Each structure stands twice: as structure tokens, then as C-alpha cells.
Amino acid sequence: RYYREVLPGEIVKISRYDVQTLDVVPRPEGDPSAFCIFEYVYFARPDSIFEGQMVYSVRRRCGQQLAIEAPVEADLVSTVPESATPAALGYAQKCGLPYVEVLCKNRYVGRTFIQPNMRLRQLGVAKKFGVLSDNFKGKRVVIIDDSIVRGNTISPIIKLLRESGAKEVHIRVASPPIRFPCYMGINIPTKEELIANRPEFHDLANYIGADSVVYLSVEGLVSSVQESIRARQENENSLKTHKSRVGKIGHCTACLTGEYPVELEW
């Protein structure tokens, strides 16, 4: 059963009797920990708990922040199922628009993000979704996605929606553009493969067939992730007799900003 989260740098001994912390390796020069922010965006299950908060709640806050940063005139909000659903619900709630399902997912097809080549990813998308056309025919649709990595997944989805009667398709992305490779073990493509680094990105809406495309800002993502952590720290601090300064909060945003938490050695 779930016991507790292992802290960054923590060495844990698990036995039949108990769980013991043997040591916690500090970051050099007192730097804050650098938990992968993309876990919150995409990789983790929504019921996962990191840093004392549920991933689902963070994704919903990302959607709310995205609605503040990038509202649009539309009739309904939907999602690319299923990891973007919490963000879509947050966006719809903040905008006052109905949340409506427009795609149904074939649960027997794996994630297209990790397919080894573009042809397989595009075939995967074609098999992955069915269209609920009665729910959006003749309407302006906002589709919330959690990320656009290469641009291969979202393009056929937009084509499906248009062919099935959508009047407009606006894409809102609940994370910033991914621009840099990850050297800490996450499967992110090479810099050249990332759509945010290619010439097509300058006219991305036209390239993928959407009426508009807007990403969440880096600042918006970081604030959505850290809001609950900061509030909890401040609450704990207020309960102490001798108040101490609220500790630093750290997350790795290297794939978004190019600022790596450790110095790269080649």
C-alpha cells in the first residue's frame, strides 16, 4: 500500500518492520530540489501525490490559469483524453463554458508520444480516437491538450473534428512549449524534432489546422504547481512559535527554459 513519498536525495531502507531514512543527500550550495515539472504535466497518473498535493488538482489549476491567460470566444470546451481532462475542466470552469466530450478513446492503444517514429505515431492517433459528432457539430470548440511535442498527434485530431462538423477548433495547451532535451532520464525527443524549435512553430495554428493555438506560460505553470505547496508551507510556518523563513521551492523546468538544475558535463 502507499506509505509516503520518498524525498529528493533521500536514501530509504525498507524492511518487514519499518521504513527508515538512512540519509538525505543535500543539493550543492543549498540549492532547492528540482522535481521534474513535466511529471505534473503529463507523465504521472492523476491520482499520484507529489510534494503533498494531488496531480489532478495541479492540472486543474493549470487549466484555470490557461483560461486567465488565453480566453477565446467559443461554445464548448473539451479535451484530448485523458491526461488533459483535469486541465480542460479547470479551463471550462474559469471561462464559464460547458465541458463536453468530443472524442472517445480506444483504451487498447498505447501512448503515441513514445512510438519510435512519426508514421507509427500517426497511425496510432488514427486508431486511438472516435468522434462524438453530435456533441459539437456546427459549434466553436476549444480543445485543451496537456502538451504538444512534435505536433503529430494534435493535427489529425483537428482534421477529424473539422470533417465531423466543428465550426472552429481552438487549441489551448496546458503547458509551455517544450524546447530543450532532458538529460535526467525523461524520454524527450531531440531539439530538432521538437515542434517549438522548427520553423512551423511561427505559424503553428496554420500548420496543425487550428483556428488558434496558445500555450500556458512558464510562469503560469510554475505558479500552478507551487501554489498549494507555498500555502501549506506558510500555514505550517504560522503555527510555529518561533517563525522561520519559508523554504525554497524548486522544480526542474529545463525542457521548457534550458536552465538545467545541474551543470552539464560533456
CA distance 42 to 147: 8
Task: Give the pLDDT score at 264.
Answer: 80
What CA–CA distance (Å, rounded) separates 87 from 66? 8
Count CA atoms closer than 13 A to 219's CA, side-chain side: 2
Position 245 scores a pLDDT of: 43
Q: Where are the domains of the chain?
A: 10-52+220-257, 55-178+190-218
From the candidate CATH numbers 3.30.390.30, 1.10.260.40, 3.40.50.1000, 3.40.50.2020, the one assigned to the domain spanning 55-178+190-218? 3.40.50.2020
What's the pLDDT score for residue 112?
47
How many degrees, rounded to 5, is the angle at CA 89 between CA 144 and CA 127? Answer: 50
Return averaged pLDDT per consecutive 10 residues of the chain, 266 residues in all. 77 93 85 88 92 95 98 97 93 98 78 50 66 97 95 90 97 97 83 93 96 98 94 78 55 94 80
- Please give the pLDDT value at position 87: 98
The C-alpha cell 481532462 sits at 85
pLDDT at position 124 is 56
Q: Say what the pLDDT of residue 265 is.
A: 78
pLDDT at 82: 82
Condensed to tens digits (0 to 9), the pLDDT of residues 129-188 reads: 889 999 999 999 999 999 998 888 899 999 999 999 999 999 999 999 999 999 887 777
pLDDT of residue 116: 53
Tell me if 115 sits within 8 A of 121, measured CB to CB: yes
pLDDT of residue 86: 97
Give pLDDT, residue 38.
Answer: 92
